[in-house]
């Protein structure tokens, strides 16, 4: 998505071999670092539904702008990825891991007998 956005919005800033401009490369690197450190791991929900906002406000807004522009265009260029992303947004949000739950003040899960 970032590549599609960059090619359309920053064509004059791109490198010779179609790499991302500096601003988009920084955004992608930041997003990758945040995903690697996500408390949910592989069960990560879509960021819009997540209870933990790990992006700072400025980067979250930049990602929102990129996704809002590139999302509809994904259907034409990468239809399978677009459909997978839409399905992932419908998955239920998992509970916080126990360690994080204590810090956030979320009540513990009910004990089963």
The CA-atom distances, in angstroms, between 10 and each of 5, 7, 25, 68 are: 8, 6, 12, 16
Residues 31-44: tens digit of each pLDDT = 899 888 888 777 77
Decide: residue 24, CB within 10 A, 0-12 exposed, 13-18 middle, 19+ buried: buried
Q: How confident is the model at residue 113 (pLDDT cuts 50, 70, 90)?
A: very low
Task: Please report, rounded to a whole number, the percentage of residues in the chain having pLDDT higher than 70.
Answer: 80
Encoded tokens for 77:
């260029």
- Smallest CA-to-CA distance from 27 within 67, 72, 83, 81 is with 67
Is residue 29 over pLDDT 60?
yes
Predicted pLDDT of residue 83: 84
| CB count in 10 Å sphere of residue 54 | 15
């Amino acid at each position: 998505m970032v590549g599609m956005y960059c090619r359309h919005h920053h064509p004059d800033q791109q490198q010779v071999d179609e790499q991302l401009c500096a601003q988009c490369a920084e955004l992608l690197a930041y997003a990758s670092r945040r995903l690697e450190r996500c408390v949910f791991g592989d069960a990560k929900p879509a960021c819009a539904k997540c209870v933990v906002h790990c992006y700072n406000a400025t980067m979250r807004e930049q990602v929102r702008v990129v996704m809002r522009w590139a999302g509809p265009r994904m259907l034409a260029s990468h239809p399978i990825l677009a459909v997978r992303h839409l399905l992932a947004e419908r998955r239920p949000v998992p509970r916080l891991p126990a360690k994080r739950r204590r810090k956030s003040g979320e009540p513990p899960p009910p004990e089963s007998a």
